[in-house]
Amino acid sequence: HLLTHWVPLREEGVLQGIVAVFHDITDLKKLENIRRDFVANVSHELRTPVTVIKGYGEALLGGTLENDPERARRFVEIIYSHSERLADLIGDLLTLSQLESGTLTLDLTPLQIERAAGHAAGLLEQKAGRKQITINTAALAGAPAILADPGRLEQVLINLLDNAIKYTPASGTISFITAEENGMLRIGVRDTGIGIPPKDLPRIFERFYRVDAARNRDEGGTGLGLSIVKHIVQLHGGTVAVESEPGKGSTFWISLRKA
Ligand code: ADP
């Protein structure tokens, strides 16, 4: 895309010529498209739960369920779960906007990754337990301390573990692994899950990108988790990476500076 404008050249008020100035606005156009897609995606994602909440709320208010308390209770549960989804989505959007506007600052301290991972695993123990999934943090014992913001690191680990649980069939295993590399500690979250097709791999860290939107929607994600992970890790000066084989499992890597 080219934007052209004409600049008259004058010397002492006399027109000497006209210069055409071309600006390449390809990048600007791209940014504008990304912004527009983002607004469209957000609106769509927000509208779905709101529509459900409104619909079931109306049904309850209609009074026809007064003699059917079981059905009424189910409706309330549906309303509750969609409110939760809405709250998650708004929380993720706020985090993302803070990350992207640069207003989120880090409070870096030396941390033991073993403790941080153990804590995150504890928070998701029930969810994993419901699918008989084991979370193994043993490989982190004795790993060198890293420099990270505890709250933000927890957010990263929870996002990665939550995904690993969501996309791993019952009785699977999730293991933390590590590798050291030029002053950085690489931390991997490896699962025995459904994996990711090679064509989707380059895009999964994008906002709202989901491998199979229809299937994933049942899992209740927002499509924002991995873009939040990437932003937080990059803010720490680290990088993210993923290896995956469909039907076998995935490993999500983050690298963080050693303390
Ligand atoms: P979501 O809220 O959909 O989980 P994310 O940004 O966290 O959004 O992940 C983006 C997509 O990447 C997911 O929808 C899913 O298709 C894929 N994905 C993420 N983690 C895994 C994993 N551990 N195994 C398989 N697919 C995954």
**pLDDT, tens digit (0-9, with 9 covering 90-100), for 18-55:** 777 766 777 777 777 777 777 888 888 889 899 999 99
ipTM above 0.95, yes or no: yes
In the reported structure, the alpha carbon of residue 89 is separated from the centroid of ligand 1 by a whole-number distance in angstroms of 15
Q: Which one, of 120, 128, 125, lies nearest residue 192 by Cα? A: 128
- Cβ pair 210, 190 in contact under 8 A: no
What is the amino acid identity at position 203?
A: R
159-176 pLDDT tens trace: 999 999 999 999 999 999
Pocket test for ligand 1, best of 89, 204, 207, 219 (most atoms within 8 A of CB): 204
Q: Given the CA of residue 213, which atom of ligand 1 is nearest to it?
A: 14
* Residues whose CB falls within 8 Å of the CB of residue 125, separated by 6 or more in sequence, listed in order: 135
Model pTM score: 0.80
